[in-house]
A and B are shown apart, each in its own frame.
Chain A
Amino acid sequence: MRRARVTPTVLAAASTLGAILPMHVLFAPTTWARPALVAILVVAATGMLGRWALPGRVLVALTQLVCLLGTLTLTLLRETTWHGIPTASTVRAVGEAITATVTAIQTQAAPVAVTPEVTLVLALAVGVVALVVDVVAVTSAMPAAAGLPLLAAFAASSANTGAGLGVTYFLLPAAAWIALLGHDGVARLQRWGSAVARPRGGAPPDLSRTLLARARGMAVAVLAGAVVLPAVIPHLPPTFLAGGLGRADDSRGRGEGGGNRLVDSLAVARSLEDRSTDPVLTYQTDDPVPPPLRVDVLLHYEDGVWRPASASTYDTGGAFPASQADVAVSRRVQTTTIRDNVLRGPQLALPGTPLALDIDPTAWRIDANGTVRVLDRREEYTVRYEEVTPTAAQLRASDPYTAGDAQSLEIDQASRAYLRDVLAGIAPEDLGAAETAWRIQAFLRSAQFTYALDLADPVQVDAQGREVPADPLSQFLATRRGYCVQFATAMAMMARHRGIPARVAIGFLQGRRDGETWSVVAADAHAWPELFFPGIGWVRYEPTPGTRSGAAPGWSTEQTTAPAPTGPGSTSSASASAEATPDAATEGSVATGSATDWRSRLQGWLGANIQVLLGLLGAVLALAATPVAGLAHRRLALRRARDDAERVEAAWESMLDGLASIGVRPGAGDTPRQARTTLSSRAHLDREADADLAGVVTTLERARYAPPGSEVDDVTRAARRVVQSAVSKRRLTARVQARLWPVEGRRAWQELGAALSGRLRRRS
Chain B
Amino acid sequence: MEIDHAGQARHAPSGLSIGAALDKVLQVSSALAGAMNSVLEGKGDVVQTTITALLAEGHLLVEDVPGVGKTLLAKTLARSIDCTVRRVQFTPDLLPSDITGVSVWNQDVRGFEFRPGAIFANVVVGDEINRASPKTQSALLESMEEAQVTIDGTTYALPHPFIVMATQNPIEMEGTYPLPEAQRDRFLARISMGYPTPSAEVAMLDSHGATSPLDRLQPVTDAATVVELIDAVRRVHASPAIRQYLVDLAGATRSSSAIRLGVSPRATLHLLRASRAHAALRGRDHVLPDDVQAVAVAVLAHRLILSGEAQLAHRSAADVLTDILHRTRVPGPTR
Residues of A within 8 A of B (CB): 645-646, 649, 667-674, 701, 703-707
Contacts and interface: CB of A to CB of B under 8 A. Distances in A.
B7 to A, nearest CB: 16
A669 B327 contact: yes
A705 B325 contact: no
25 contacts: A646-B335, A667-B326, A668-B327, A669-B325, A669-B328, A670-B330, A671-B290, A671-B330, A672-B288, A672-B289, A673-B288, A673-B290, A674-B290, A704-B239, A704-B241, A704-B332, A704-B333, A705-B239, A705-B241, A705-B286, A706-B237, A706-B239, A706-B285, A707-B237, A707-B285
Nearest to A666: B330
B144 interface: no
Contacts, number: 50
B293 interface: yes
B329 interface: yes
Instruction: Give the size range of B's interface with the partner.
Output: 20 to 34
B287 interface: yes
Contacts of A674: 290
Nearest to A707: B237
Contacts of B288: 671-673, 701, 705
Contacts of A667: 326
Contacts of B333: 645-646, 649, 703-704
Contacts of B286: 705-707
Contacts of B332: 649, 704
Interface in B142-196: none
B295 interface: no
Interface string B270-292: 00000000000000011111100
B35 interface: no
Interface string B201-219: 0000000000000000000
A277 to B, nearest CB: 73
Interface in B281-335: 285-290, 293, 325-330, 332-333, 335
B239 A669 contact: no
10 closest Cβ contacts across the A-B interface? A671-B289, A707-B237, A669-B326, A705-B239, A706-B286, A705-B286, A671-B290, A669-B328, A671-B330, A704-B241
B179 to A, nearest CB: 31
Contacts of A673: 288, 290
B272 to A, nearest CB: 13
B242 interface: yes
B90 to A, nearest CB: 40
Nearest to B236: A707
A669 B330 contact: yes
Contacts of A707: 237, 239, 285-286
Nearest to B331: A704
Nearest to A669: B326
Contacts of A646: 333, 335
Contacts of B325: 669
A100 to B, nearest CB: 62
A705 B333 CA distance: 9
A671 B293 contact: yes
A697 to B, nearest CB: 11
Contact of B287 (A645, A668, A705): A705
A672 B292 CA distance: 13
B329 A669 contact: yes
B22 to A, nearest CB: 12
Nearest to A675: B330
B242 A705 contact: yes
Nearest to B237: A707
Interface in B66-120: none
A686 to B, nearest CB: 25
Nearest to B323: A669
Interface centre among B241, B288, B325, by most A CB within 10 Å?
B288
Nearest to A701: B288
Contacts of A669: 325-330
A19 B118 CA distance: 96
Nearest to B235: A707
A671 B242 CA distance: 11
Contacts of B329: 668-669
A649 B241 CA distance: 13
A706 B284 CA distance: 9
Nearest to A645: B333
Given A646-B335, A674-B290, A706-B237, 17 more contacts: A667-B326, A668-B326, A668-B327, A668-B328, A669-B326, A669-B329, A670-B330, A672-B289, A672-B330, A673-B288, A673-B290, A704-B333, A705-B241, A705-B286, A705-B289, A707-B237, A707-B285
A243 to B, nearest CB: 72
A707 B286 CA distance: 7
Nearest to A703: B333
Interface centre among B285, B326, B333, by most A CB within 10 Å?
B333
A220 B249 CA distance: 69
Interface string B226-243: 000000000001010110
A670 B332 CA distance: 12
Contacts of B239: 704-707
Contacts of B289: 671-672, 705
Contacts of A670: 330
A649 B290 CA distance: 18
Nearest to B239: A705
Contacts of A668: 326-329
Interface centre among A645, A649, A706, by most B CB within 10 Å?
A706
A669 B333 CA distance: 15
B220 to A, nearest CB: 30
Nearest to B18: A707
A120 to B, nearest CB: 57
Contacts of A645: 333
B66 to A, nearest CB: 37
A646 B289 CA distance: 19
B267 to A, nearest CB: 19
A484 B33 CA distance: 111
Contacts of B326: 667-669
Contacts of B328: 668-669
A668 B290 CA distance: 14
Contacts of B330: 669-672
B305 to A, nearest CB: 23
A14 to B, nearest CB: 53
Nearest to B322: A669
A649 B335 CA distance: 12
Contacts of B290: 671, 673-674
Contacts of A705: 237, 239, 241-242, 286-289
Contacts of B327: 668-669
Interface centre among A670, A674, A705, by most B CB within 10 Å?
A705
A242 B30 CA distance: 99
Contacts of A704: 239, 241, 332-333
A671 B275 CA distance: 14
Nearest to A667: B326
